[in-house]
Amino acid sequence: MTDWNNLTAPDAARIEAMARDAMAALPPEFATHAQDIAIRVAEFAPEDVLDELQIDDPFELTGIYDGVPVTEKSVSDQPGQPDIIWLYRRPLLDEWAARGNVTLAELVGHVVTHEMAHHFGWSDDDIASIDRWWE
């Protein structure tokens, strides 16, 4: 019998590890480049991000890509901050609990794949061939 009194929700480090596992599982042509993207986990998106996206409920945003897509980068660009995938722990946990039909690792993997799509400029067909989420 599970002792529910001693269980805790996965912390930011565990969610980051799930994200790294999802990135490593991408097809080889993407997985190598994915390792250059930083993963950051915060409890919620900051107010300025929510305002920019016109999102009122912070639980509605589970992740976001912050960077310049590969399709828009130029060799003449000055290096700036690294590309980052932000994952928001509380909204992820809330969606996971509400769904009840996927593991947290599957949900994190789905969000990471979606955000990687922004980085690589993938089409909807590309995403569907890598992330079978909607099947």
Q: Render pLDDT for 94-105 as a digit per residue (tens, 0 to 9).
A: 999 999 899 999
The more confident residue out of 94 and 4 is 94
pLDDT for 134 beyond 60 = no
CA distance 4 to 86: 29
CATH class of residue range 9-65+82-130: alpha beta
Q: Would you place residue 76 in the very low, low, confident or very high pLDDT band (cuts 50, 70, 90)?
A: low
Could you report the per-residue pLDDT of 85-95, keeping only the tens digit for each?
999 999 999 99
Cα distances (angstroms) measured from residue 69 to each of 52, 72, 106, 119? 19, 5, 24, 4
Tokens of 91: 């909204």
For residue 59, count CB atoms less than 10 angstroms from its CB and return exposed for 0-12, middle for 13-18, buried for 19 or more.
Answer: middle
Give me the mean pLDDT over the 17-38 stretch: 85
pTM of the model: 0.84
Q: Name the one residue in this structure whose structure tokens are 């400029």.
A: 121
% of the chain exceeding 70 in pLDDT: 84
Q: Among 3-7, 56-60, 96-100, whose mean pLDDT is lowest?
A: 3-7
CA distance 33 to 56: 33
pLDDT for 24 beyond 80 = yes
